[in-house]
Amino acid sequence: MDPEVTLQNIAAESAKTNAVMVELLTKQNEQVAKHGATSEALAAQIKQVGEDLVGLKAEQAATLAKLEDRVREAQEKADRVAIASQRPGWDGGEPVKSAGAAFIEQFKGDDGRRFGESLSKGNVRNSQRSEVKGGFRDAVARAFGRKSSQLLTDAATRFTPVMREAMLPWLGDRFGNASSRHEYGRAARKAIDEARSRVAAAVNAHPTEVIFTSGGSEANNLFIKGVAALMKPGLVALSAIEHPCVREPARQLIRSGWRCEEIAVDTAGRIDLQAFDRVLADRPRMVSVMLANNETGVIQDVATLAAATRKCGGWMHCDAVQALGKIPVDFRALGVHGMSLSAHKIQGPLGVGALIVDKRVELAPLVAGGGQERNLRSGTENVMAIVGFAAACDVVLAERDQRSARLAALREVLEQGLVAMGAQLFSADAPRLPNTSFFAIPGVDGETLVGRLDRAGFAVASGSACSSADPAPSHTLLSMGVDPDLARAAVRVSLGAGSVRQDVDGFLVALGESLASLRTMTAMAV
Identified catalytic residue from 260, 312, 318, 466: 466
Q: Going edge to edge, which strands form the sheet with 210-213?
A: 210-213, 353-357, 338-342, 315-319, 286-288, 235-239, 259-263
Helix axes 501-525, 93-104, angle to 10 degrees: 30
Q: Return the number of other C-beta atoms located less than 10 Å from residue 333's C-beta.
A: 13
- Tell me if residue 466 is catalytic: yes
436 closest CA partner among 309, 341, 301, 294: 294
C-alpha pair distances (Å), 363 with each of 192, 219, 319, 376, 378: 22, 12, 17, 7, 13
Q: Going edge to edge, which strands form the sheet with 436-440?
A: 424-425, 436-440, 490-494
Q: What distance in Å separates the CA atoms of residue 59 and residue 267, rounded to the nearest whole number?
A: 71
- Given a contact cutoff of 8 angstroms between Cβ atoms, the answer to whether 178 and 168 are in contact is no
What is the SS3 string spanning 190-259? HHHHHHHHHHHHHCCCCHHHEEEECCHHHHHHHHHHHHHCCCCCCEEEEECCCCHHHHHHHHHHHHHCCE
- Given a contact cutoff of 8 angstroms between Cβ atoms, the answer to whether 100 and 502 are in contact is yes
Displacement of CA 121 from its chain's centroid (Å):
32
Q: What residues act catalytically? A: 466
